Amino acid sequence: MTATDLDRTPLLDPSAAADTVAITGHRPDRLDGDYTTSSPLWAWIAGTLTSLYRELSIATVIQGMAAGVDQLAGETALDAGLAVHAAIPFNGQADRWPAVTRRRWRQLAERSTVTVVTPGGYAAWKLHARNQYMIDRAVLLLAVWDGTRSGGTYQTVTYAHRRHTPAVIIDPVGRTVSWDPRPAAVPAAVRRRPSPAGHPQLFD
């Protein structure tokens, strides 16, 4: 595991960033309350993420290490053989979490490249800084978002819009997948390649 402090130089040069996606999404208490992420809903989210990684030819996932979608996305990316960059918002992010959740955080960090985005202890603004840091270093956002217009996931989607970063919305309520907004031209590195035999296309 490596750790670097935030500087204002790009984490990835443009060619490297072309196959990098950022992840945002809800914590378990905003969905079904299952912090083990083993319920049918979480199985659907994991399967959808894995399929998108494949369909969009993703090589690197950058995620914020929160319980729920972030960690699940990182784990599924590693299982698929992708590189994972863990953008930790502040030092001690998991220190007050339950032991099981803290252990999962540590195991994921040990398998990822780690950046502490804003060193030092907790402050609410650091969560927003972390989210912006991820969008600034990715060509695409994958958002597990229920459409609620409040909270960190919504704010991250909104920031992606301001940055003209296309997003794929994974709706955990309707269990649908769609572009938001649909880009006039999908960046070349994330154009959907043909699905393998027996593998369904996720969006039109």
**Can you give the pLDDT at residue 204?**
39
pLDDT digits (tens, 9 = 90+) for 99-117: 999 999 999 999 999 999 9
What pTM was estimated for this model as a whole? 0.83
Q: How confident is the model at residue 181 (pLDDT cuts 50, 70, 90)?
A: low
Kindly report, residue by residue over 22-58, the tens digit of the pLDDT.
999 999 999 999 999 999 999 999 999 999 999 999 9
64 token code pair: 């914020």
The candidate with the shortest Cα–Cα distance to 168, out of 158, 157, 179, is 179
CA 141, 128, 120, 91 torsion-angle sign: negative
Which residues make Cβ contacts (< 8 Å) with residue 124, sequence separation at least 6?
none
Calculate the average pLDDT of the chain.
84
DSSP structure string for 3-60 = EEE--SS-SS-HHHHTTEEEEEE--GGGTT--TT--SHHHHHHHHHHHHHHHHTT--E
| CA dist., res. 197 & res. 100, Å (int) | 38
pLDDT band at residue 198 using 50, 70 and 90 as cut-offs: very low
* pLDDT over 90 percentage in the chain: 77
Can you list the domains of the chain with their CATH numbers?
22-183 (3.40.50.450)
**Average pLDDT value for residue range 181-198:** 46
